[in-house]
Amino acid sequence: MFKKKKGLLFILLLFLMSFSGTVFAQTNAPVPKIDSGDTAFVLISAGMVLLMTPGLAFFYGGMVRRKNILGMLMQCFIIMCVLSLQWVLYGYSLSFSSGNGFWGDLSWFALKGVGLDPYPTYAATIPHQAFMIFQAMFAIITPALIIGAFAERMKFSAFLIFIILWATFVYDPVAHWMWSDGGWLKKMGALDFAGGTVVHINAGVAALVTALVIGRRKGYDNKPTPPHNLPFTVLGAGLLWFGWFGFNAGSALAANGLAVNAFVTTNTAAAAAGLSWAILEWLHNGKPTIFGTVTGAVAGLVAITPAAGFVNAGSAIIIGLLVSVFCFLMVGIVKPKLGYDDSLDAFGVHGIGGIWGALATGLFASKLVNKDGANGLFYGNPHQFIVQLIAVAITIGYSLVVSYILYKLVDAVFGVRVSEKDEVIGLDLTQHREGAYTLVE
């Protein structure tokens, strides 16, 4: 069976040599001016966004039971691996090359023509590949958000196939609609600064779908199982907050005033939401928790994502304060009532938070903050709110349907859920044959 492998590698080799060639074409094209400050900013930001996925791994990993943490970490890391490759091979092309209304073509397959000179359509002062790799980090973390929904019970093989399909048929198209040159949602005037719809609604809805179809964990009684290591969850939240500056401010694609505005609103919304959640718990349960506070902070980061470059700090406070109200209701009250098992609240936080954020952008957006943006309802432009509403509805609808289809497909072919016995023993031992901690030494 090593033979198999060898053959496979050989084919790859041949194929990739061609790939290698492809960079030729572009590197001696005419060279527009690269700004070192902007390039530094976008590259470091890309690094910070990359760090968010390990951050998410610990944010989620701390919440599950001890026997499943490696499963969570593994799913996040394999996503970093597989989608990094998917992106440079065809994901970026599908998402950002002109192509058709639905998605891009393969003209940028294997980064053909995606070189080190700026591609002004997307960013005039940084190398095209800098924009590409920055976007890659978004393509990585988005599917990773979903895994919170089906935590502790999904077969690794099925998960892997599902994620690749989802990235290709859900993420890439939606990114194309919203962010690519001539994407129709963008044309329609929809605003999404750093991914409220493309990233959070998209992933959140997929999370809801998968949670519903895969079903509840064995013995789930509408209560979260106590997190096996809350400090890990807090660590993850800290890394997420840090990385989110790259996510939102970096989306300005330049180290300018817009980036600063996004940075400030991001921090402000996270703070407001974290505090808001803590207060809600205080009122509702008598005590504020760190688990709630970090959940709120993340919800705030989610909600400000589409708005960061369009609203001011004041609006960021409102967006933050309210997102926790909505998410808290969903996570703490509605979900237990309905009884579905969105295990780590991927929908409750990212779905709900993303929807509120996208709509809030339609309320609070202001040309005073970003003249290339638009005014929202509260700045006298109700139309923008409608547009946002439509963009949200479309993203929800599309992600809902296609995620469902993909899930069913994978389930039919591979079977998505682990056996009850394996679920009881835990994913670490059954899916990966390793244990997270030694019990006796």
Indicate the residue among 312 and 403 with the shorter CB distance to its own copies.
312
- Segment interacting with its own copies (CB under 8 A) among 66-74, 163-171, 205-213, 350-358: 66-74
Q: What is the closest distance, in whole angstroms, from the C-beta atom of residue 289 to its own copies in the complex? A: 5
Indicate the residue among 102 and 437 with the shorter CB distance to another protein.
437
Q: Binding-site residue total for its own copies (CB under 8 A)? A: 140
Neighbour-count burial of 186, counting CB atoms closer than 10 A to its CB (0-12 exposed, 13-18 middle, 19+ buried): middle
Sites of contact with another protein (CB under 8 A) = 67, 219, 222-224, 226-227, 280-281, 284-285, 287, 289, 291-292, 295, 328, 331-333, 336, 345, 424-425, 429-430, 433-435, 439-441
Q: What distance in Å separates the CA atoms of residue 232 and residue 56, rounded to the nearest whole number?
A: 10
Secondary structure E strands in 123-180? 123-127
Q: Is 390 in the site for its own copies (CB under 8 A)?
A: no
- Segment interacting with its own copies (CB under 8 A) among 101-109, 177-185, 285-293, 349-357: 285-293
DSSP label of 348: I
Q: Is 257 in the site for its own copies (CB under 8 A)?
A: yes
The structure tokens 């929202």 sit at 376
The residue within the footprint of its own copies, chosen from 138, 179, 378, 407 (CB under 8 A), is 378
Q: Is 106 in the site for its own copies (CB under 8 A)?
A: no
Neighbour-count burial of 270, counting CB atoms closer than 10 A to its CB (0-12 exposed, 13-18 middle, 19+ buried): buried
Q: Is 70 in the site for its own copies (CB under 8 A)?
A: yes
Q: What distance in Å separates the CA atoms of residue 418 and residue 270, rounded to the nearest whole number?
A: 36
Q: Is 69 in the site for its own copies (CB under 8 A)?
A: yes
Residues counted in the chain: 441
Q: Is 82 in the site for its own copies (CB under 8 A)?
A: yes
410: alpha, beta or left? (left if phi > 0; alpha if psi -120 to 50)? alpha
Q: Is 39 in the site for its own copies (CB under 8 A)?
A: yes
Question: Taken in order 111, 115, 121, 122, is the CA torsion positive or negative?
Answer: positive
Q: Output the six-digit token pair for 155.
A: 């077969």
- Segment interacting with its own copies (CB under 8 A) among 163-171, 264-272, 343-351, 397-405: 264-272
